[in-house]
């Protein structure tokens, strides 16, 4: 992962092997969850069973970090990686803009 701070926001590029990521209510409590994440899928496939949603290259995922969630990420080609570009934005900077 490469990451940069942009004032109060955070930008990062993540490249990883296939994996499962779980953010439980317990982990939300530890991490605060006071932000939103916006991820752009560059390579790989992502699936969220709770929402029954799939994301492919070119898709965008926006989620509330205060919600527990499971993501399955896998490479489209054996031996390849999953690659996302993402922003983490504090809730107070975004809430007034969301309906």
Are 2 and 15 spatial neighbours (Cβ–Cβ below 8 Å)? no
pTM of the predicted model as reported, rounded to 2 decimal places: 0.80
Provide the residue range defining the domain that includes 55. Answer: 2-97
Q: What is the rounded CA–CA span in Å between residue 49 and residue 39?
A: 17
pLDDT at 99 over 70: no
pLDDT at 98 over 80: no
- Give tens-digit pLDDT for 49-80: 888 889 999 999 888 888 888 888 888 888 88
CATH number for the domain harbouring residue 18 = 2.60.120.10
pLDDT at 37 over 70: yes
Report the number of distinct structural domains present in the chain. Answer: 1
pLDDT at 12 over 90: yes
For the chain, the average pLDDT equals 88
């Amino acid at each position: 992962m490469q990451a940069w701070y942009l004032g109060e926001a955070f930008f990062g590029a993540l490249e990883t092997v296939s994996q499962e990521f779980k953010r439980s209510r317990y982990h939300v409590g530890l991490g605060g969850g006071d932000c939103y994440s916006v991820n752009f899928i560059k390579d790989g496939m992502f699936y969220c069973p709770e929402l029954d949603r799939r994301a492919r290259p070119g898709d965008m995922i926006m989620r509330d970090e205060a919600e527990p969630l499971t993501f399955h990420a896998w490479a489209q080609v054996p031996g390849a990686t999953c690659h996302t570009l993402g922003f983490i934005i504090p809730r107070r900077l975004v809430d007034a803009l969301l309906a």
